Structure 1
Amino acid sequence: MRVRLLSLFIALALFPLAAAAQDAPAQADEAAQDAAPAADDDPDALDAGAAKVPLEEIRRYVTVFNAIRQAYVDPVDDHKLMSAAVRGLLFDLDPHSAYMEKADAEQFDEQTRGSYDGVGVELQQMPDGTLRVVAPLDDSPAERAGLRSGDRIIAIDGKLLRAGQSDSSAPLRGKAGSKVVVKVVRGEAGEPFDLTLVRDTIRATSVRSKLLEPGFGYVRISSFQASTAADFAKQVDALQKDAPLRGLVLDLRSNPGGLLVGAVQIADELLDKGGIVSTRGRESIGNSRFDATPGDRLHGAPVVALVDAGSASAAEVLAGALHDNKRARVVGSRTFGKGSVQTLLPLDNGDSIKLTTARYYTPSGHSIQALGIEPDVVLHPDGAQRRPAPISEAELPGHLAAEPGAMEGDNAGEVLPGRKPIDAALLELKKMAGVAVDAPKPAAAKAQ
């Protein structure tokens, strides 16, 4: 399947605008003079030009910038001041738009390739600087130490996280074998506690597989990286080397997402036709649609997609595509609801900005943003008396709102760890495959 490089196209379209904007403060006075109307200027043309360049706001920025340079109690480096201003432009947009220094952008790129030094956890930086755990990677230092989806990291190595930091998670990265201590809050009113993590070289194996029973396969996808789709195809073929599968459990629990292209390609492996996902943004270049091509690697065998509150972004795209095409039944809990597209725009100094440029839509036209994917069969954590702090995009301060008319409400799902959700998914898969399933036997009555 030929997949268009949407992010690259958007970056190429928007980068000239970003580059031009960098010179705006220095040119404010010149721009103001250029915009001054001559006696015979067209007023409508002037209004149109003013709408493109907010000269009054730029003048205000230059005034504040110069006031800080001249009168702040201590000298402030121009580069540091300008970097802070650029971060401020992105700070209040949404939780996923951010300024990334060169090292952070390189780390971001390394994670998509699946190899980097750190603790192996997908995090969301909150406006107050603390870090919300979206999901720890499978068998990572974070998972082994006991970090869970929904936990909030408030301090690293004794230093409280605060608002305004460009990347609060930077101290978690470091040489493999070194230790880092995080202070964690669990639940709405939980007491802070410390966890010690030993950094490691994270070589995330994003796809694992096995046979649950003869004829019924299981594939776990922990994230979407550059090689995920190819690994998925190989492992599905290996599962049915001796005989075609009668059904497949696709485990997407606590999968924080990753590269969209991986989710699109895996959906194409399981679909013979139909839409997969579409994106819509303000710029027409951000509007795109991905469709399946003929060929189903499972030859129509039923699929159950297992999801939970930690399933986000590309994982939701895949679950939504299979569900809307009636190719899979979704089992588990409502997903995270991260339905926005981020584009990485490089700057001339080596830094980058990560900017939200579009929303994802499932084939039926459903927007994932702040709503998530609602399962066909709802599961709950084993033995849970009440739901902990809600884990969803809709709970993030400043999140991109759901589309008009959609009710966000209290739609947060739950995290579903352990083996029991897999057993429940297998039971559902057998029903879909027409296999007789024994009803649970009632407990024997006690002897009188």
Structure 2
Amino acid sequence: MLHRPRLTTLALCLGLLSSPALVQATPEHAEHAPLPLDDLRTFAEVMDRIKAAYVEPVSDKTLLENAIKGMLSNLDPHSAYLEPEAFRDLQESTSGEFGGLGIEVGTEDGFLKVVSPIDDTPASTAGIQPGDLILKIDGQPTKGLSLMEAVDKMRGKAGSKIELTLIRDGGKPFEVKLTRAVIKVRSVKSQLLDGGYGYLRITQFQVNSGEEVGKALNKLRKDNGKKLSGLVLDLRNNPGGVLQAAVEVTDHFLKEGLIVYTEGRIANSELRFNADPADASEGVPLVVLINGGSASASEIVAGALQDHKRAVLMGTDSFGKGSVQTVLPLNNDRALKLTTALYFTPNGRSIQAQGITPDIEVARAKVTREQDEVGIKEADLQGHLGNGNGGADKPSKAKPAESRLQDDDYQLSQALNLLKGLNITRGN
């Protein structure tokens, strides 16, 4: 069994799988459990001692809120007590517009760690990568700060400056200067690659991501003028999002069968989602790219397509978050974000703390292109013979080809090569 470093994740962007609605939930038989009177007396005694003896005055409200935070923080890394500002941030992030740096962060061994930057945000533009450790925020060490305190320091007014001190892969610390912005995330991007192959990237799963994927597939087919030769679905560094969106996206690639199911203690945590007969992708060959920044909802999509043998998964192991959080509103604009279920792939696999292993492992690599040593070809020579079968001459290229998306992305280029190979072997 694989054991991964424990990460505590909170959103400067949404990266945690949330249930599709805000609900009230009560575990079965909870009302029959007797109150732990001895423990409650101890709690009251501790509270009284703190109020009487602590070096500075402290209010009942502060003590009680800290007690609530303690209860949630010691359950699992993704359960949390959301004060009004954090609750609003969570709601805003599912709509695709929020303030911040566009970076999903967590904690590991007391250090602030980057889970994944979101495309087209200050964090991704500055070159911040998954796995980077944030040592300082504006010169202040992050060691010892709670996750909430660190997140608060990175938030701020759009246009204001911030400096992060990072360390990558055990190297030397380096500084990155960023400008805070209102993050408007376009969760779905697409473009046509050469040879009639499509590229579809989902940066995170928002409420409307399923609909946007459907539109993108239609546009790709229209731009190509016919059925696509194949498709690359890019889920790298996608930190997750809304459960229903993950189901809708997967449904675009399947005609039947189970997509995902969840199991928990409360009644509405027992859910099963199945595909409908429509297939917006028209069954074209599919390669899904994943990596260590692919979490939660991304793993639902990848796991379902892998179990149904609908796609070849390529890249590196995914993050390994297989739990579902339900947001339970409280009074005074507060809420609990509580882990209420685990999700399972169609074949019954739990991704929790293990992640998804790709069918073909391809690590991230830098692509460098060397110049062809031969500057001219036979067709360049004056007086050369023509092709005996009437074929056109193929002289050397006068200009280098325009840069393509796959030219600077080794994993994408490998995915495209695999699709081309599949088409050749199938005789397409």
SS in 2 for 1:250: strand
Distance 1:232 1:163 in 2: 39
The correspondence for 2:79, drawn from 89, 92, 97, is: 97
Q: Are residues 1:8 and 2:13 paired?
A: no
Contact 1:430 1:436 in 2 (8 A): no
By how many angstroms is 1:163 displaced?
4.4
Deviations 1:169-217 (A, max 9, x none): 1222222111111222322x34433211111121111111111123211
What is the match of residue 53 of structure 2?
71
Distance 1:176 1:16 in 2: 46
User: CA 1:344/1:417 → structure 2, altered by over 3 Å: closer, same or farther?
Assistant: farther
Name the stretch that deviates more: 312-321 or 425-434.
Answer: 425-434
Q: Are residues 1:113 and 2:125 paired?
A: no
The correspondence for 1:200, drawn from 181, 188, 208, is: 181
The correspondence for 2:193, drawn from 201, 212, 228, is: 212
The correspondence for 1:135, drawn from 108, 116, 141, is: 116
SS in 1 for 2:25: helix
Contact 1:307 1:330 in 2 (8 A): yes
Matches within 5 A, 1:7-406: 7-8=20-21, 11-14=23-26, 49-50=33-34, 53-126=35-108, 128=110, 130-161=111-142, 162-164=144-146, 166-187=148-169, 189-241=170-222, 242-382=225-365
Amino acid at match of 1:422: L
Deviations 1:275-316 (A, max 9, x none): 111111123431111100111112211111111111110011
Structure 1 alignment gaps of length 5 or more = 21-47, 385-415, 438-448
Q: Are residues 1:428 and 2:418 paired?
A: yes
User: CA 1:200/1:6 → structure 2, altered by over 3 Å: closer, same or farther?
Assistant: closer
Deviations 1:41-89 (A, max 9, x none): xxxxxxx643xx2222221111101111122121102111111111111
Amino acid at match of 1:352: A
User: CA 1:13/1:246 → structure 2, altered by over 3 Å: closer, same or farther?
Assistant: same
- Over the aligned positions, Cα root-mean-square deviation in angstroms equals 2.5
- TM-score, with normalisation over the residues of structure 2? 0.81
SS in 2 for 1:169: helix
Distance 2:425 2:25 in 1: 53
4+ long deviations beyond 4 Å: 15-18
Amino acid at match of 1:213: D
SS in 1 for 2:317: coil
User: CA 1:214/1:165 → structure 2, altered by over 3 Å: closer, same or farther?
Assistant: closer
Structure with greater contact order relative to length (CA < 8 Å, sep ≥ 6): 2
User: CA 1:244/1:93 → structure 2, altered by over 3 Å: closer, same or farther?
Assistant: same
By how many angstroms is 1:90 displaced?
1.4
By how many angstroms is 1:436 displaced?
8.3
Amino acid at match of 1:12: Q
Amino acid at match of 2:154: L
Amino acid at match of 1:8: A
Q: How many residues align?
A: 369
Contact 1:7 1:344 in 2 (8 A): no
- TM-score, with normalisation over the residues of structure 1? 0.77
